[in-house]
């Protein structure tokens, strides 16, 4: 049963990404940040909040690790803990257009890419708001497994003002942060 569930989750992700293959643009009214420094963005980001979607449903301790590869692409390694243990998805990302804008396209399956739009970023406070190709996809990411309540509220107010359904956000726990698979 566990293997069946894992394959179903991967198939659902594949179908979703296939549907998004041409969807690497930002949602209407969402502008990627300017003066984006990719090298400063690399490293580990923890998922503080997300809108629900099938490829992360039921996962806790979700994090993303980004690294620059020898060929200039960005390796992406997402991990999260589910009922069958750690689940890992590896992919790659590329800038969309101007590399100093916070707009990437991410692929976990060959030529199929989805939008990764950083529309708010506070490197000093260690958080980012990321959208997919529409307002059905939103992530609040942080450099640490948690954010101070005031900082989190500030970020979520920006997402709410941008038209995201912040009342539907999921806040995964990070009780296994020290045991996550090493990137």
pLDDT in tens, 54-99: 889 999 999 999 999 999 899 999 999 999 999 999 999 999 999 9
Q: Taking a C-beta distance cutoff of 8 angstroms, is the pair 169, 138 a contact? A: yes
- Give the pLDDT of residue 15: 41
Closest CA to 130 of 78, 183, 57: 78
pTM of the model: 0.84
Q: Average the pLDDT over 163-173 and give the result.
A: 97
| Buried/exposed 100-125: b ≥16 CB within 10 Å, e otherwise | ebbbbbbbbbeebbbbbbbbbbeeeb
C-alpha distances out from residue 32 to 66, 103, 126, 154, Å: 18, 6, 17, 18
pLDDT at 176: 82
CA distance 24 to 132: 8
Helix (H) / strand (E) containing 158: helix 149-161
- The answer, yes or no, to whether residue 14 has pLDDT greater than 70, is no
pLDDT band at 25 (very low <50, low <70, confident <90, very high): confident
Q: Quick check: 158 pLDDT over 60?
A: yes
Q: Are 133 and 22 in contact (CB under 8 A)?
A: no
pLDDT in tens, 99-138: 999 999 999 987 889 999 999 999 999 999 999 999 999 9
Token reading at 80 = 């999260």
Give the residue-averaged pLDDT of 152-162: 98
Sequence-distant (≥ 6) Cβ neighbours of residue 175 within 8 angstroms? 60, 61
Number of alpha carbons in the 13 Å side-chain half-sphere of residue 56:
22
Q: 3-class SS at 183?
A: coil
Q: Does residue 40 have a pLDDT over 90? A: yes
Mean pLDDT for the chain overall: 88
- Which distant-in-sequence residues (6+ apart) come within 8 Å of 39 by Cβ? 68
Confidence of residue 21 (pLDDT cuts 50, 70, 90): very low
CATH ID of 2-22+31-179, from 1.20.120.1200, 3.30.70.360, 3.30.1360.170, 2.40.128.20: 2.40.128.20
pLDDT for 181 equals: 67
178 has pLDDT over 70: no
pLDDT of residue 171: 97
Integer Cα distance of 93 and 105 in angstroms: 5
Q: What is the mean pLDDT of residues 28-55?
A: 95
Question: The tokens 């989805």 sit on which residue?
Answer: 114
């Amino acid at each position: 049963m566990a293997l069946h569930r894992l394959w179903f989750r991967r198939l659902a992700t594949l179908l979703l990404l296939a549907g998004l293959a041409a969807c690497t643009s930002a949602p209407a009214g969402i502008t990627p940040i300017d003066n984006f420094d990719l090298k400063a963005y690399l490293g580990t980001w923890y998922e503080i909040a997300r809108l629900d979607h099938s490829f992360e449903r039921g996962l806790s301790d979700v994090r993303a690790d980004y690294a620059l590869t020898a060929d200039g692409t960005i390796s992406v390694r997402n991990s999260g803990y589910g009922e069958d243990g750690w689940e890992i998805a590896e992919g790659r990302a590329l800038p969309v257009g101007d590399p100093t804008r916070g707009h990437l396209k991410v692929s976990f399956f060959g030529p199929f890419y989805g939008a990764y739009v950083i529309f708010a970023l506070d490197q000093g406070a260690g958080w980012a708001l990321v959208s997919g190709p529409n307002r059905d996809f939103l992530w609040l990411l942080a450099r640490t497994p948690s954010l101070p309540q005031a900082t989190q509220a500030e970020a979520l107010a920006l997402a709410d003002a941008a038209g995201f359904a912040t009342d539907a956000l999921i806040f995964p726990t990070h009780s296994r942060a020290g045991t996550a698979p090493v990137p």
